[in-house]
Amino acid sequence: MKKFINGIDSVLSESLDGLCVAHPDLLVAGPEHKFIRRAELKPGKVALISGGGSGHEPLHAGFVGQGMLDAACPGQVFTAPTPDQMMEAAEAVDGGAGLLFIVKNYEGDVMNFDMGREMSGRTIETVITNDDVAVEDSLYTTGRRGVAGTMIVEKIVGAAAERGMSLGELKALGDAVNEATRSMGVALTSCTVPAAGKPTFEIGDNEMEMGVGIHGEPGRRRVAMMSADAIAAELSEAICGDLGEAANGNAIVLLNGFGGTPAMELYLMFNAVKPLLEKHGARIARSLVGSYVTSLDMAGCSLTVSMASDEMLALWDDPVHTAALRWGV
Amino acid sequence: MKKFINGIDSVLSESLDGLCVAHPDLLVAGPEHKFIRRAELKPGKVALISGGGSGHEPLHAGFVGQGMLDAACPGQVFTAPTPDQMMEAAEAVDGGAGLLFIVKNYEGDVMNFDMGREMSGRTIETVITNDDVAVEDSLYTTGRRGVAGTMIVEKIVGAAAERGMSLGELKALGDAVNEATRSMGVALTSCTVPAAGKPTFEIGDNEMEMGVGIHGEPGRRRVAMMSADAIAAELSEAICGDLGEAANGNAIVLLNGFGGTPAMELYLMFNAVKPLLEKHGARIARSLVGSYVTSLDMAGCSLTVSMASDEMLALWDDPVHTAALRWGV
């Protein structure tokens, strides 16, 4: 294992410290790194909290800031945060208008966010994301996994919260965005969890994992390496097939890298995907290409398609100022 | 070799097409992808053109747009663009106030940009960047190599051009920013050039290349893997030692990933570097952490320190709207 680390036990805390010192105007770490919150809170606004296992950076702490999250609770690598983290984060950012948790659908995350909500005793609603069409029940989930589409939920609901929308409206909006969003990924290599010190899974020199999860968990099938066009076709078909008639309309499209794949290949994949989505009636109204929801150093990518109403597009365009996503400010 | 590609000959054109269709409001490709230019030109402004071998994305085409470059000329992977590319780009973006070429110091690039300038017959000045302190003369250079600091030159000079500064002033500013900027990198793995199909260099499971160039060319020495803190110390010492007394003051610090290293490790490295720079008297006035000047899929990172006057900081803060760098708009 070759990584930029000092010790396995301090990877997470040092990386979070680095994030905060690189963005001192934006971010503050809570005690013991239990959460990362906005440096400047906005009273009277519904507060948004997300989180989950680390190793998916910039998700979630990189999306804390104006127009997106108020706090993120980072668990250990690929491990759900503990309930006290969400309880303390809620206490730190509660602006008096209630809180919304945004949680990727993994059993540990869903359970611990729910315990955090109960322990907190505050007014909290939860949106659970489950955008991954690759598999139904899986290694860590009942139902579909929540993956890169989560950041689209966070952006759109974050903008709505900034505009002053109520907790009930935000919960409904978050569920609606999740419902309109589909993702699927593919891995060319495994990631390596620092504490494990070796790749999570074995994969041949000419193989890829189609439908891989963001922790390197199995997808639909192990197949021989294919051309970018053939990969794009399989991802697009899976997503548009699942959307059905709903694929007809404006879409926000995210071509996401898993951490070990450079921009050159991601843009090539975006180019391959575009005509395929359009064939299904999707109009790419907004696009985003980059490594936003990663799996440590895994080479691979995912495609996310979020069918967007005019309201969703307008909220997408609202100003955002976070470490990893910024425009309009 | 496992990459998202269709054919070796079409990697570059498909990736550039992907960049343009992902940012149709920002970017337009010239004929035969000879250059990528702003979709909307601004007459009366000095036009900035950069470029170089591809494989360093988002450099340079990802920095075309408001407040930065007017056009970028992408060569084949790790190969200088041809003189006709610069000549045609100059013709396409000349706004009547002269043109400035920003060129990384590699023999092929310097020669071809100069030939493009001569063939064009237009009023053109050139800033050559040579920020890499790792080695003096090297595989492809007489003198030091131009690396990640180039993007800092492009940002600051781009902002000054947008403000209406004259060609002579921009040339002087670009030289001054380059003069105030130092970089050094380290590779944990080799990159793989698509046309070669195999890693550029061999490197052991416990080795790294200290001072590596952005094409995978040799650096200072091949050493055993070290802790993040020890790596940060060697990079910081090399840079601050070279800056000498000049390291005392405000700095723009870029912790840059080479394409295969995820954000988690880059932020950890930023955290390691910060106190070391401060020990030398540098105050981190602005910071940027991410993969901006890459070497295809190489795992590794570089540190860039640019000592910044108040004017440079103000220009850094000016609005920028490109595919890879955006704020204030």
**Which domain covers residue B291, as residue numbers?**
181-327
Both A234 and A162 in a single domain?
Answer: no
Q: Which of residues 134-153 of A touch B (CB under 8 A)?
A: none
- C-alpha dist (Å) from residue B216 to A265, B235, B298, B301: 18, 17, 8, 12
Interface test with A, best of B264, B296, B313 (most A CBs within 10 A): B264
Q: What is the CATH number of the domain that holds A213?
A: 3.30.1180.20
Q: For the whole model, what pTM was predicted? A: 0.97
Exactly one of A23, A33, A56, A60 is catalytic; which is it?
Answer: A56
What confidence category does residue B196 fall into, taking pLDDT thresholds of 50, 70 and 90?
very high
Q: Which of B161, B179, B197 is the last residue of a domain?
A: B179
Both B65 and B86 in a single domain?
Answer: yes
Residue B157, pLDDT > 90, answer yes
Both A18 and A147 in a single domain?
Answer: yes
User: A60 catalytic, yes or no?
Assistant: no
**Residue B313: partners with Cβ closer than 8 Å, 6 or more residues away:** B250, B252, B285, B286
List residues of B with catalytic annotation. 56, 215
What pLDDT sits at residue B138? 80
Both A90 and A157 in a single domain?
Answer: yes
CB contact under 8 A, A270 and B208: no
* Mean pLDDT within B205-232: 96
Both B163 and B221 in a single domain?
Answer: no
What is the percentage of chain A residues whose pLDDT exceeds 70?
Answer: 100
* Mean pLDDT within A293-311: 98
Residue whose pair of structure tokens reads 């103000």 in the numeric block: B314
**Residue A172: partners with Cβ closer than 8 Å, 6 or more residues away:** none
Contact residues on chain B for A260, CB-CB shorter than 8 A: 260, 262, 297, 299
C-alpha distance from A184 to closest chain B C-alpha (Å): 15
Q: What is the CATH number of the domain that holds B148?
A: 3.40.50.10440
Residue B181, pLDDT > 90, answer yes
Q: What is the residue-averaged pLDDT of chain A?
A: 97
Helix (H) / strand (E) containing A304: strand A300-307
Q: Which of B149, B179, B209 is the last residue of a domain?
A: B179
Residue whose pair of structure tokens reads 């193989």 in the numeric block: A207
| DSSP E strands, chain B | 27-29, 36-38, 47-54, 71-77, 99-104, 124-129, 181-187, 207-210, 221-224, 249-257, 282-290, 300-307, 320-321, 326-327
Contact residues on chain A for B296, CB-CB shorter than 8 A: 262, 264
Residue B139, pLDDT > 90, answer no
Q: Which of residues 198-227 of B touch A (CB under 8 A)?
A: 205-206, 208, 225, 227
What pLDDT sits at residue A168? 98
Both B312 and B195 in a single domain?
Answer: yes
Q: Which of B4, B21, B296 sits opposite A228 (nearest CB)?
A: B4
Both B271 and B170 in a single domain?
Answer: no
Residue A142, pLDDT > 90, answer no
What pLDDT sits at residue B37? 98
What confidence category does residue A141 fall into, taking pLDDT thresholds of 50, 70 and 90?
confident
